[in-house]
A = this chain, B = another copy of it.
Amino acid sequence: MTTSQPTSRRIASLLDLAAPVWRFFTQSSYARRIGDPTICDFAVGNPHEMPLPGFVEALRKWSVPQHPHWYAYPESKRSAQEIVAASLRGWRGLPFEPDDIFMTNGAFAALCVALTATVDPGDEVIFISPPWFFYEVLIAAAGAAPVRVKANPETFDLDLDAIAEAITPRTRAVIVNSPNNPTGRIYPPQALEGLARILTEASERHGRRIYLLSDEAYSRIIYDGRAYPSPTALYPHSFLLYTYGKTLLTPGQRLGYIALPPTMPPPAREQLRIAIFMAQIMTGYAFPNALLQHALPDLEKLSIDIEHLQHKRDWMVGALRAMGYELHVPEGTFYLLPRAPMPDDKAFIEMLAEENVFCLPGAVVEMPGYFRISLTANDGMIERGLPGFKAAVERARR
């Protein structure tokens, strides 16, 4: 008999890091009810309405093969790279090149690939807290040390002084996410300029390039007609990470990309092109399925109804405030982030669950004392759920 563990030590330590999110998805009341159509599901950014008809139509249309290689190994299809580059040229006003577009099976994979291409064991990678669940784990999985920097607790904006202080000679990358999940904050141009200045100076001081990994998953989920300043527009040494999973609200069909901005010096871009391709191989062939790449001409033009999402935001913010919840109005993303009306957000989440209302405890996104609401819940869930929010806040205050 052997005495050793059946799993790798590495995976065991990553499981420790992921324990809060793991417990929520496997051991909470939500874990027991997930997928139950009778619950009011505000827990994660999953669809609760039928997919866009145009999405289904595009899959059906582009399923029909036009030549024998239709379902061959796709890598990044040239046609897809060209569509993305054209889209970014129009949208971002910079001359992105097709060769600098790397089609990935979602932004999750895009981040893994970007880390693999640039980061070595012993390096440090800064991420902003509150973060998306998996930044810390993915940084650690790449063998690097995750370095947490808190956002400004009042404005949820970047704390530039704290970022500058956290940088060391080992810092290889900074991950930012604008608009931010879970705060809904869009970082303003001044903050991004300040960040670019800090990264440029630190790169030169330490003789080593610090990359900006810009998670732009929600860059098309923007409210009130605001402009979207991309962090990549202000710092040439950026990776733009995007997924169609939010814009189309179809996270089950993995389609995203990495884009290197045309402002990045050509010699670095040329080396990174090879490195990123190899990293896509190394992480398990991290390319989108052929069908999704074929369908991109149609998918690129589609979006869920942002106006309706904004309506749900305003409806819920108004209703929750009227009940006594404290919360700010997000500028983008799917999420509201109210304060829990009692210190223990996990206990409050379970109180909501008793009302058939399911939200994400703030602790899971490093915001203890808060909870996160996903506006991807449908109108019926909101209508049925609001009395539950009311009952829970009243009970919590008793």
Answer whether residue A320 sits at the interface, using C-beta atoms and an 8 A cutoff: no
Q: Is the interface of A mostly helix, strand, loop or mixed?
A: loop
Do the beta carbons of A250 and B71 come within 8 Å of each other? yes
> Which residues of B sit under 8 angstroms from A206, Cβ to Cβ?
2
Do the beta carbons of A63 and B63 come within 8 Å of each other? yes
| Chain B residue with the shortest CB-CB distance to A58 | B63
Do the beta carbons of A108 and B285 come within 8 Å of each other? yes
Do the beta carbons of A252 and B73 come within 8 Å of each other? yes
Choose, from A6-14, A306-314, A344-352, A363-371, the stretch at the interface.
Answer: A6-14
Answer whether residue A283 sits at the interface, using C-beta atoms and an 8 A cutoff: yes
| Chain B residue with the shortest CB-CB distance to A287 | B254
Q: How many residues of A contact B (CB 8 A)?
A: 91
Answer whether residue A1 sits at the interface, using C-beta atoms and an 8 A cutoff: yes
Q: Smallest Cβ distance from A47 to chain B, in angstroms?
A: 6
> Which residues of B sit under 8 angstroms from A120, Cβ to Cβ?
8-10
Do the beta carbons of A281 and B134 come within 8 Å of each other? yes
Residue of A8, A15, A121, A254 with most partner-chain B CB within 10 A: A8
Q: How far is the CA of A365 from the CA of B6 in the complex (A)?
A: 31
Q: Smallest Cβ distance from A146 to chain B, in angstroms?
A: 13
Do the beta carbons of A289 and B286 come within 8 Å of each other? no
Answer whether residue A4 sits at the interface, using C-beta atoms and an 8 A cutoff: yes
A73-B51 contact, Cβ under 8 Å, with A138-B282, A271-B5, A286-B284 = no
Answer whether residue A263 sits at the interface, using C-beta atoms and an 8 A cutoff: no
Choose, from A83-91, A111-119, A184-192, A218-226, the stretch at the interface.
Answer: A111-119
Q: For the complex of A and B, list the 7 residue pairs with the smallest distance between their C-beta atoms, beginning with the closest.
A: A252-B290, A109-B284, A112-B284, A7-B275, A71-B250, A6-B268, A108-B285
Enumerate 11 A-B pairs (CB-CB under 8 Å) in ascending A order: A4-B209, A8-B275, A10-B143, A11-B118, A12-B275, A14-B278, A18-B281, A37-B67, A48-B69, A51-B68, A60-B60
